[in-house]
Amino acid sequence: MATEITMPQLGESVTEGTITKWLVQPGDKVNKYDPLAEVMTDKVNAEVPSSYTGTIGELIAAEDEKVEVGQVICTMEVEGAAKSKSTESAPGKQSQKPDSPEDTKKAEDKSSAGRYSPAVLKLAQENDIDLTGLDGSGRGGRITRKDILAAIEDGAGAKSETPQTEASADRPKPADMPVQSQGRASVPTGRTEEIPVTGVRKAIAQNMTASKREAPHAWMMVEVDVTDLVRLRDKKKADFQKQEGFKLTYLPFFMQAVVDALKVYPQVNSKWDGDKIIRYKDVHLSMAVATEEELFVPVIKNADEKNIKGLARSLNEIAGKVRSRSLSSEDMQGGTFTLNNTGSFGSVQSQPIINTPQAAILSVESIVKRPVVLDNDAIAVRHIVNLCMSLDHRVLDGYICGKFMNHIKTSLENMNESSVSIY
């Protein structure tokens, strides 16, 4: 008898995940803890390990299909399971073993037949499918996305509540009407390419849309003179790389300035939680790390306990994990404030989207040379960087955020060889 393998819970509050890639095929032999599939959730990309040693049976969940926690994703013939059956039929007998009470109960279980996930409801509404006319293949008779797609392909389950009258039959459908009569601008007719939205890109779209919808965004920007910091880094970077084995970038200096400001203004190190605000006592710094196709936000835990060298090492480690696609669910959880290095792309001003439920996010822009009027009215070329912060106005107001940003500005403008210790 095949054993059912279900979608595990890959993180706190995770209720579903998307199979982005199967790593096995039917008939493959796997050992316990071997990876079966790559799964994406709204919090992390991870691999689903096998709980048994055996042979893969049927792959029930398709790639790019969203599956709820606890739902069956595949079956497996578990090694040694047959030997443990105490009622196995004797060789040569023609009689067939009747269904066990457990099998009958499983077949008749319809306890979840009337419960629909938001994804199922949306897909059914978009395709005019009557859910009451479908049999669910999920646990407890629950209708899954796979059931809806099968109904669409078969042309079954369509609603027919209102018969079409003769007059309405002659009326042109919206798709048949000229574009102008539908009140829309004309659609370009040139060559196009359709790109399915799957994997991490789909999670990014969902999370960013939810953030803009739920959190009232406000933002501010300060201009910082980092001329002394540039000189300090230029002086130390060669020895640092020789000693540590990786580059000393500007970002660890900005990280330290942010951490120091969060300790002085803990109101910013907070999150919105329904009818209350949670203020964190530890600083766990979320760092936005982008690839050509994806965006990840791993977390540097207890960043307030690290010096510049420690922050640089942690940053190098998470960047390596992103490149090797080896981030774990633990690497992505627990952040209290997000720092975003848009300057690495050449940006000089941006408005970042908050990594909810955190209360704020800060973008570090490009360091550029600009003519600046000094206190004695002389004009000099200085290294200037813009810092752009988005804040959740439910948690924070401009007064505290202004003081927070000014604290970072002061720290960065006074970073020099005599005031900063890298090690």
Active-site residues, by number, are: 393, 397
Instruction: Name the CA radius of gyration of the chain, rounded.
Output: 28
H or E element in which residue 59 lies: strand 54-59
Q: Cα separation of 108 and 114, whole Å?
A: 14
Question: 81-84 — which CB contacts under 8 Å span 24+ positions?
Answer: 81/1, 81/3, 81/54
What is d(CA 338, CA 262) in angstroms, rounded to the nearest whole number?
11
Q: Sign of the C-alpha dihedral, residues 317, 321, 324, 326?
A: positive
Sign of dihedral through CA atoms 154, 156, 158, 160?
Answer: positive
Per-residue DSSP letters for 312-341? HHHHHHHHHHHHHT---TGGGS--SEEEE-
Integer distance in angstroms from the first to the last C-alpha of the chain? Answer: 60
Amino acid at 339: L
Residue 199 φ then ψ, to 5°: 60, -140
Per-residue exposure over 210-241, b if at least 16 CB sit within 10 Å of its own CB, e if not: ebeeebeebbeebebbbbbbbebbeebeeebe
Q: Tell me how far apart the alpha carbons of residues 360 and 391 are, in angstroms, rounded to a whole number.
A: 4
Our measurement of the distance from residue 74's CA atom to the centroid of its chain's CA atoms, rounded to an integer in Å, reads 24
Tell me which residue has tokens 């942690």.
314
Spell out where 328-378 has E strands. Answer: 337-340, 360-373
Between CA 116 and CA 122 the distance in angstroms is 10
